[in-house]
Structure 1
Amino acid sequence: MSAGAWAGRPLGERTVAYDERDAILYALAVGAGAEDLDLVFEERLRVLPTFALTLAQWAPDALGSQGAFDTTTAVHGAQRLEVLRPLPRAGELRLQARVGAVWDKGSAAVFDVEVESDHFVATWSIFAPGAGGFGGERGPSAPREDLAGAEEVEVATYATQAATYRLLGDRHHMHVDPDAARAAGQPRPFLHGLCTLAAITLGVAGRVGAHPADLRTLAGRFAAPVFPGERLVARVAPGGETRFDATTGDRSVITGGRVSFG
């Protein structure tokens, strides 16, 4: 079955439940501090919108398990999130998932996995080496952003962050097991891309004077992994839609970032 034949394929429905403890653990995992009481204290809790992505992680995993691509070589290339309404402090959400577009990059394919609910729409873009060449459309190219003169904000990661974040549901071994990380081509366990993106979003929100729970849209491409304990620098260009990217040392880790609050 060619990669292009997966376009439009339903991936099923699922009801997911969570409580205040899960939402608080998530906030701590992506970098919220003890002083951020409306993110980590149940009496004042606002749920970070990016928490939704942990609830929907089953969808791209389901596509991989059905044999659409080689799960040992495919990587999470980009993420988009549109917030339709705030997440409740606890409860159940009904999610529907499908394969959207499948882009032919020649030597690889990119599968867009779309998850919808009453509260959000999220899209994973999965880059699958060896699955291209099926004669489909190439799709959009990565945007080239000029962020010269943008403001900078530092974002710290911590040594146990990947081990903590995986408790939210993404338990791929490469984020905690050195042998699995080396098998994936990395020298040691690395941070989940969605954890990196959420941590940077917290920093960007602080830089532009927004509350991170007021996030409305978010998008970014994953350029390289981040290792727990590394310090990131995000360049932030505020506007109606804030643009950003992030580096650690001389390594670019997030490109084409866009976020809005309101």
Structure 2
Amino acid sequence: MLYALGLGYGDDPTDPRQVQFVYEQGLKSVPSICVVLAHPGFWINTPNLEIDWVKVLHGEQAFTLHSPLPAEGVVRGEYDVVAVEDKGPKGAVMHVTKRLYDDESDALLSEVTSVYMLRGDGGCGDYGTVPTPPQPLPDRDPDMTVEISTLPQSALIYRLSGDRNPIHADPEAARKAGFDRPILHGLCSMGIATRAIIDAVADGDPDRLKALSLRFSKPVYPGETLQISIFRDGADYRFSARAMERDLVVLDRGTAVLNN
């Protein structure tokens, strides 16, 4: 429920499509919660990794669900750094995979992949096999749009789900990272895009969502309204999102896959 509130669910407390995620009677989990479950903490600032964590940006994110996530239970996350791209003076790109298991049955619940831009760490060398990058969106008008407003305190609520990076709460840390004020978590904006997909193309049923991926193109500031543009692409859906106040694309090259 705390995770769902961080995504803004409950802004219409009379809408059963929202209440299902924030009320214990018939409670369901938002599918994108898999990205924060079994969170390893702020590991990227571990001294022996020698990563300039202040300059790290979250570049891309994806998840695939192997079964609907239960509203309660115990899970286990297993992480691997699967690839590193050395971009020289531009820095480096790190690809991380998490496998999320039901701790009792050992069943694989979901696979989550993250891409991080290490802007201060070029010259580290390459490692592993780099995944195929996401493809551009169709060059046409979207089939539908959804608007979802964020709260000024959205980042302060969302960080309680596990991501305590200070650039989302501390104005001074945000300034050191190059932002004029704390920014919204990329994974929060991804959760908001998940909200839009569930409402617009899955009839409000979270169990219909099988996979979702996207690229973070620009930071979102708490309090902004996101307009999610959705394109039908065969059996799948492509999407992007822009911050309406700045008329700026903040999420791009998104893909959502539904269960048949």
TM range (shorter): 0.7 to 0.9
Structure 2 equivalent of residue 187 of structure 1: 180
**Aligned match for 2:151, one of 158, 162, 187:** 158
Q: Counterparts of 1:101 and 1:133 in 2: how far apart (Å)?
A: 15
**Aligned match for 1:252, one of 225, 231, 249:** 249
**Aligned match for 2:140, one of 137, 140, 148:** 148
Listed as ranges, the matches of 1:74-153 within 5 Å are: 74-106=56-88, 107-117=90-100, 118-133=108-123, 136=126, 139=130, 140-141=132-133, 143-150=135-142, 151-153=144-146
Alignment check: 8 A CA contact 2:228 2:241 kept: yes
Give 2:163's aligned amino acid. D
Give 1:260's aligned amino acid. V
Q: Counterparts of 2:52 and 2:153 in 1: how far apart (Å)?
A: 29
Give 1:218's aligned amino acid. L
Q: Counterparts of 1:58 and 1:134 in 2: how far apart (Å)?
A: 23
- When the two structures are aligned, how many residues end up with a matched partner? 238
Alignment check: 8 A CA contact 1:147 1:244 kept: no
- SS at structure 2 position matched to 1:111: strand
- SS at structure 2 position matched to 1:253: strand
Query: Are 1:39 and 2:21 an aligned pair?
Result: yes
Q: Counterparts of 1:26 and 1:198 in 2: how far apart (Å)?
A: 9
Structure 1 equivalent of residue 192 of structure 2: 199
Residues 159-195 of structure 1: CA distance to partner in whole angstroms, max 9, x if unpaired? 1111100111111111111111111111111110000
Tell me which stretches of 4 or more aligned residues in structure 1 moved more than 3 Å.
132-142
- Please report how far the alpha carbon of residue 90 of structure 1 lies from its aligned counterpart in structure 2 after TM superposition: 1.3
Residues 20-78 of structure 1: CA distance to partner in whole angstroms, max 9, x if unpaired? xxxx111111122233232111121111121121124317x434424152111111111
Unaligned runs of 5+ in 1: 1-23
Alignment check: 8 A CA contact 2:213 2:256 kept: yes
- SS at structure 2 position matched to 1:58: coil
Residues 231-251 of structure 1: CA distance to partner in whole angstroms, max 9, x if unpaired? 111110024121000111321
Q: TM-score, with normalisation over the residues of structure 1?
A: 0.84
Query: Are 1:208 and 2:185 an aligned pair?
Result: no
Give 2:6's aligned amino acid. A
Alignment check: 8 A CA contact 2:150 2:222 kept: yes
Structure 2 equivalent of residue 236 of structure 1: 230
Unaligned runs of 5+ in 2: 101-107
Residues 147-167 of structure 1: CA distance to partner in whole angstroms, max 9, x if unpaired? 412122212111111110011
Structure 1 equivalent of residue 7 of structure 2: 30
**Structure 2 vs 1, CA of residues 141 and 50 (structure 1 numbering), >3 Å: closer, same or farther?**
closer
**Aligned match for 2:43, one of 34, 37, 62:** 62
Alignment check: 8 A CA contact 2:202 2:258 kept: no
CA RMSD for the aligned pairs?
Answer: 2.0
Alignment check: 8 A CA contact 1:222 1:254 kept: yes
**Structure 2 vs 1, CA of residues 77 and 93 (structure 1 numbering), >3 Å: closer, same or farther?**
same
- SS at structure 2 position matched to 1:200: helix
Alignment check: 8 A CA contact 1:56 1:115 kept: no
Q: Counterparts of 1:85 and 1:64 in 2: how far apart (Å)?
A: 33
